[in-house]
Amino acid sequence: RWRRRSGSNDFTLKMFDYSKTAVKRAMKTITEVEPITAVSFHPSGEFFLCATRHPTLRLYSAETQQCFVSTIPKDQHSDSITDVCYSENARMFVTGSRDGNVKVWDGVSNRCIETFTRAHDGAPICSAQFTRNGKYVLTVGMAVCPNYGNCPPIAV
């Protein structure tokens, strides 16, 4: 249902429903504790991931705005998260961080299943995206050329 979202340096995340024809569209706002750096909606539209300048990744319910985080401290990054992206089938998602690490997460349990430490020789990660088939992650580090990391496929 929520089709557009906007994250900002003012710590707010806004969701817009463009399915309504009215001039004033329904909007929900979430206030975070840090500036928002990236957002990725689950393909169902029911959940979304929110990356901020904080090392803890947040998973939100789009309908209730309830926040979920992994309770395992080692799952989290050690510096701000710069990008987050669901795979096309939503079985996994990936995060990149200023700590130089890329993490692949289980899309159901919200647990980190693989960490690529110092993916670009420790340079901060600017972007992390899955390929369409979900087998690879394309990452970009600051002042470094793109690098393909082989991600283990998740058995259904």
Reported as a single tens digit per residue, the pLDDT across 4-25 is 555 556 777 777 776 666 655 6
User: Strand ranges (DSSP E) for the chain?
Assistant: 4-7, 12-16, 27-31, 36-41, 47-52, 58-61, 67-68, 81-86, 92-97, 102-106, 112-116, 125-130, 136-141, 147-150
Task: With respect to residue 112, please indicate whether it lies within any of the assigned structural domains.
Answer: yes
Task: With respect to residue 155, please indicate whether it lies within any of the assigned structural domains.
Answer: no
Task: With respect to residue 156, please indicate whether it lies within any of the assigned structural domains.
Answer: no
Residue 115 structural domain: 4-150
Task: With respect to residue 102, please indicate whether it lies within any of the assigned structural domains.
Answer: yes
| Residues lower than pLDDT 50 in the chain | 1-2, 144, 151-156
C-alpha–C-alpha distance, residues 104 and 62, integer Å: 22
CA dihedral for 141, 146, 149, 155, sign (positive or negative) = positive
Q: Indicate which CATH number applies to the domain containing 97.
A: 2.130.10.10
High-pLDDT (> 90) share of the chain, %: 51
Structure confidence at residue 25 (pLDDT): 60
Count of structural domains, the chain = 1
Task: With respect to residue 67, please indicate whether it lies within any of the assigned structural domains.
Answer: yes
Task: With respect to residue 114, please indicate whether it lies within any of the assigned structural domains.
Answer: yes
